[in-house]
Structures are given as C-alpha cells and as structure tokens.
Chain A
C-alpha cells in the first residue's frame, strides 16, 4: 500500500509534536522510523491510523485522502504497549483470532498464519500464560489475520529477548518479501535484522528520510527540514 504524508504538523493542546513531516513510500516498501523518546514516533503512527485527526490533504493511504479512507482492515497494527489489551482476563489465542477476523479467511489460512508465527501449538492456551515474545507474536498474528497490505509495528521488540527479536525480524522480513508494506517504529535500529528499504529519523518532530540504497552509497536524500 502506498503511503504519502506531506507537510504534516500535529500537536496536542499547546505542544507541537510533528513539524512539517513529509515522506512517501511505495507498495512493498519497508520503512523504519527511528527517533528518541518524545520525538513524535507514536504520534505519527496515530496520525497514519486515523486515531489522531489530521487536516485534509496531509495523509494519503493508497492514494486516498485519509479522512475518506474506509478500508481499515487492509492495515494491520501492532501497538507499542500491549497494556492496551486487557489480557489478564482469560481468553485463548484462538478466541482472539476468531473475534478479530473480519475478512474472508479460511480456517486453513488461519492455521497457516499461526504456524508461520510459530504459535500454532498455543492456539488453545490462555494468553495470560504466554511469555513476552509469544505474546508479541500473538499480536502480530492478530494484525495479519485480515491479510493487510500495510503492517504498522510500533516498537514491537521492546522487552523481547534476543532470540525472539531475531525470530520476529525473520517473520517481518518474510512478510515484506511477500509484498506487505511495512512501517516499523523503533527506538534503536538494528540494521542487521530489518531488511528495510527506507529509514526516516524523527528529531524533535522533524523528519529526515533516506532510502537504503542512499545510505549504502553514502548519499543524503533528506526529506523535510
């Protein structure tokens, strides 16, 4: 899915968080957004998901004005804080997948997805008994159940051990190879893990975009101010 943001400025009350942010990624690209705490990464995600109201003409998803965009199940989202999910109340992985399924996905496709995420054997487990790494994969599977064209991952490897981080990047890289556009938000970039095509740095709300090929060639194709 093509994502285009042009001169987006956004703030809460009197504080401006994003200043004139611009970038464009094409179908099948893999964008990594890096920045320190408070640089506006999560605010940008909320703008892309339509949670933060943005003015017309600033954000386009699949060439469609975000305020007119309706096909949200084409976007998969893995939140930064799993705390948003009340997972202390018993619910199994299978039940989560059942209630999250909003498109025509067969039982076989669901099982194949769980298998790919390495959580097939956990489908009847209560999710509050799972480890941090397993839980992370559950939420990625949930984001993928409706077979999205764009997957947004907000700091998905925070608190996940090294082995699971590697496994996580293998899955994400594989999805990207299958044509899913990825936007990965990260506090730190681990370039060895993510096969990204673009990297954008957010510094005090301003954006600096480079393509991977530019980086390797030592070029400087800056976007924004």
Chain B
C-alpha cells in the first residue's frame, strides 16, 4: 500500500511539470533559508525574518491592488513583495542605528507598518482571496517556470557571494567589533546582507507563506546548533534538516492533501522536538554512566 503511494508520488513528479517546479523550488529554498538563517541566528536577529515577511506582505497586497483594482500592467506582485522586503530590511537597519541601545525596537515598528499596510491594501483589493491565502500560508505546488528561474539564479548568486566572502561574513556575524578592527567594511557588508535577506524572505514566502517563512530559516538552525560541533557541521546539519522537511512536507501534502507550507513547518518542528528528546536522553545516559563509574571507584 505504502509502496503504491510512494510510486504514485514519484510518477507524479516525473510526469507533472508543477510537481517538478515544486521540488526544485523546495530544494533551493531548503538550501538558502537555513544558510542565511544561520547568520541571522548568530547575530540574535531571529525576529527579523518575521518582520520582513510581514513587510513583504504589504508589498504583495499593494501589488494585488495595482493589478486587480487599478489594472496596472504588473507581471507579478512578487516583485513588489521583494522590493518591500528590501525596503523593510533597510528601514530596520536605519532604526537600529537610530535606537542604538534599544535596537530591538526596530522590529515592532516595521512589523506594525507592514501589517497595517497589508490590512489596508487587502481590504482595498476586495478582501480575503485565494491569492491572499497563498501569500499567508504558501503554495509551493502552484509555483511557475518563471519563479523557478528567479530562485535558481538568486541561489547561484548568493552561494557564490557566500563562497567568496565566507571569512568576512563569519567574522562579522560572530564578532562585529573584531571585524572592524581587521579593516573589514562592516557597514557595507551589512547593507548587502540585509538586501539579500529581504530577497530570500520574499522568495521563501512562495514556499511556506508569510506566517511561516521565519520558521523555515530559524527552526532547522535551532535544531542543528544543539548537535553541531563546528560552524560548518552545524550549517550542513541545518541544511539537511531543512531539505528533509521540505521533501517530506511536499510528499505528505501530496498524499494527504494538507497545505504544503504548514506540513513543511510541522515536520521541521517534529525534527526539532526529536533533537531535544535525543539530546536529553543522550545526556541523561552519559550522566548515569559517569555516576556509575564514580561509584565503582
């Protein structure tokens, strides 16, 4: 029975273009999200992903308003969503330098603006619709060829940038003051990494939606950092967890008819829970072993 379902899924992937697009998109987002997410987590900026996704929703809503109500020739609201994610990221940077001692204030300010604009333009665009639902919760099974091209090029460019500037990015993430001392142009790096973050978030929205995008970036990293022993191994484990969640999530949503975004995120959380339990058991066993050894002595 299970074999038939699995072979049905594989046949569907081989035969149907939309399934191939979903798998390619999922794999690429599954690679990018935890990679960027790691640097976000190191800098203790986990909430930035949520903030930017909400701000990106404002752009998507405005895009829908332009398209559906004003009838402007916009190809896809996604581009306005991307633009807004970048604007939101720059706004956060500006507010963080304005409130130097209360940097976290920037997040609720930007999230409030994003949510208010979203609510306004969703209402002006005619209220809740399937498109809005897809933006909120993701719809990986509906991505088109164009989106696959965009995300493939973006992934290639970001991977290349990370490879070239790996040392600088790692130093800035772990110790900004020391990076300045080494003569690294920290502000310039931060400016570009903020823009990249905005772009990745707006692309990831297609996969799991505005409300779940931060989980795709943060949860695999949160799980990996509890078992990784080095930076590289933590990054690889996070990518492994993320890819597993995406592929299992797509498979389960295909056979059960569940929403893909929610399924991916729930599987991500399942892995995190597994890691927590495994670690507790592992440490408990090690502690018991040590106690037995000390009693024997």
User: Measuring CB to CB, which residues of chain A are less than 8 angstroms from any residue of chain B?
Assistant: 49, 51, 70, 72-73, 75, 77, 79, 84-87, 89-92, 94-96, 98-100, 102, 124-126, 142
Question: What are 17 A-to-B residue pairs whose CB atoms are below 8 Å?
Answer: A49-B181, A51-B177, A51-B180, A51-B181, A72-B181, A72-B183, A84-B178, A85-B174, A85-B178, A86-B42, A89-B225, A90-B225, A90-B229, A92-B231, A95-B232, A96-B174, A126-B230
Chain B residues with CB under 8 A of A98: 167
User: Measuring CB to CB, which residues of chain B are less than 8 angstroms from any residue of chain A?
Assistant: 38, 41-44, 166-167, 170-171, 173-178, 180-183, 225, 228-234
Q: Are B183 and A73 in contact (CB under 8 A)?
A: yes
Q: Within the assembled complex, what's the spacing in Å between the Cα atoms of A90 and B41?
A: 11
Q: Are B174 and A91 in contact (CB under 8 A)?
A: yes
Q: Within the assembled complex, what's the spacing in Å between the Cα atoms of A102 and B184?
A: 10
Q: Within the assembled complex, what's the spacing in Å between the Cα atoms of A91 and B232?
A: 8
| Minimal beta-carbon separation of B228 from chain A (angstroms) | 5
Chain A residues with CB under 8 A of B175: 84-86
Chain A residues with CB under 8 A of B44: 86
Chain B residues with CB under 8 A of A94: 230
Q: Are A84 and B231 in contact (CB under 8 A)?
A: no
Chain A residues with CB under 8 A of B182: 72-73, 100, 102
Closest-by-CB residue of A relative to B174 is A86
Chain A residues with CB under 8 A of B181: 49, 51, 72, 75, 77
Chain B residues with CB under 8 A of A89: 38, 41-42, 174, 225, 231, 234
| Minimal beta-carbon separation of B286 from chain A (angstroms) | 14
| Minimal beta-carbon separation of B39 from chain A (angstroms) | 10
Known: A89-B42, A92-B230. Contact between A99 and B170, CB under 8 A?
A: yes
Considering the complex of A and B, which 4 residue pairs feature the smallest CB-CB distances, nearest first?
A91-B231, A99-B167, A92-B230, A90-B228
Q: Within the assembled complex, what's the spacing in Å between the Cα atoms of A142 and B233?
A: 21
Report which residue of A49, A72, A90, A124 has the largest number of chain B beta carbons within 10 angstroms of its beta carbon: A90
| Minimal beta-carbon separation of B237 from chain A (angstroms) | 10
Closest-by-CB residue of A relative to B170 is A99
Q: Within the assembled complex, what's the spacing in Å between the Cα atoms of A72 and B177?
A: 13
Q: Are A95 and B230 in contact (CB under 8 A)?
A: yes
Q: Within the assembled complex, what's the spacing in Å between the Cα atoms of A96 and B229?
A: 13
| Minimal beta-carbon separation of A13 from chain B (angstroms) | 12
Q: Within the assembled complex, what's the spacing in Å between the Cα atoms of A89 and B46?
A: 13
Known: A92-B229, A92-B230, A99-B171. Contact between A86 and B43, CB under 8 A?
A: yes
| Minimal beta-carbon separation of B44 from chain A (angstroms) | 7
Known: A85-B178, A99-B171, A126-B229. Contact between A90 and B234, CB under 8 A?
A: yes
Q: Are A95 and B42 in contact (CB under 8 A)?
A: no
Q: Are A77 and B178 in contact (CB under 8 A)?
A: yes
Closest-by-CB residue of A relative to B228 is A90
Q: Within the assembled complex, what's the spacing in Å between the Cα atoms of A125 and B230?
A: 8
| Minimal beta-carbon separation of A187 from chain B (angstroms) | 21
Chain A residues with CB under 8 A of B38: 89
Chain B residues with CB under 8 A of A90: 225, 228-231, 233-234
Report which residue of A73, A77, A95, A99 has the largest number of chain B beta carbons within 10 angstroms of its beta carbon: A99
Chain B residues with CB under 8 A of A49: 181
Known: A72-B183, A77-B181. Contact between A91 and B230, CB under 8 A?
A: yes
Chain A residues with CB under 8 A of B43: 86
Chain A residues with CB under 8 A of B178: 77, 79, 84-85, 100, 142
| Minimal beta-carbon separation of B51 from chain A (angstroms) | 20
| Minimal beta-carbon separation of A146 from chain B (angstroms) | 8
Chain B residues with CB under 8 A of A96: 174
Closest-by-CB residue of A relative to B227 is A90
